[in-house]
Amino acid sequence: MRVGRIFDQPSCRQQIEAMKQERSVNTPEHLRAFTAADADRLADAAAMEADAAIQNSAAMQAAALDQSASVVEASAMVDTAAVMKAAAVMKATAVMKAAAAVEAAAVMKAAAVLEASAVVEAGAAVEAAAIMQASAVVEDHAELATRLLKMADGYLDTGALHQAAEMYFKLVDDHHGTMEAVQARKRLIEVSETHEHNGELRQARSIYERLLEPAPE
């Protein structure tokens, strides 16, 4: 089929016909058979050259296909590398966000711990201040009770039994449980005994009855 197409070209047919006519005119009868064989050889050589050209074209086409495939493969590799790079960037971003979240949580926790410590310290300071204030109040009351007891003793020494009894009862009622209150109760018994010796039974009875009353809570 390839040979037929080659010899169907106008230029090839004209050359062959011209060659045949020249051989017919100028070549003796006994050489014309050689001329036909020579034409056949020329035709075979042309066919072989055409086959070589076709094979060369096929080889070039195959090489072009291989090159195109290589380009496609290289493009696919580039796309894969880009996807992997994008995935790596996304992963790194996620890791950085997670690290930032952990760091923020740690900072918040540390702030909470510091705030709690400050609250505890403030509470301890308030409690210590309250204790100190209470101690100061107790000391102040103890000092006042001691002075009041001494003043009542002074009234007792001068014979002012009514004033002494009022101050002793003040200590018993307002400073119950203290040493001054205990001393005041003893002094009140002495005052009641003095009233008895003086014949003032109503005053003595009044003191005894008040001492028998339940102690204030």
Q: Which domains does the chain have, with CATH numbers?
A: 2-77 (no CATH), 130-212 (1.25.40)
Model pTM? 0.41
CA-nearest of 167, 181, 189, 187 to 216 is 181
pLDDT of residue 204: 94
Residues 6+ apart with CB under 8 A from 83: none
**Rounded to an integer, what distance in angstroms lies between the CA atom of residue 118 and that of residue 114?**
6
Residue type, 139: E
Q: From first to last of its 217 residues, what are the pLDDT tens digits of the chain? A: 444 555 455 566 676 677 666 655 555 555 555 566 666 777 777 778 777 878 887 888 888 787 877 766 777 776 777 878 878 878 878 877 877 887 887 878 888 877 877 766 877 777 777 766 766 666 777 889 999 999 999 999 999 999 999 999 999 999 988 999 999 999 999 999 999 999 999 999 999 999 998 766 6
**Tell me, what's the pLDDT at 27?**
57
Fill in the DSSP letter of residue 215: P
Query: Which SS3 state, helix, strand or coil, does residue 121 take?
Result: helix
In 3D space, the residue among 16, 4, 6 whose CA is nearest the CA of residue 49 turns out to be: 6
What tokens does 156 get?
């007792």
pLDDT in the model for residue 3: 47
Token pair belonging to 109? 């926790």
Dist CA 47 CA 53 (whole Å): 10
User: What pLDDT is stored for residue 101 in this prediction?
Assistant: 81
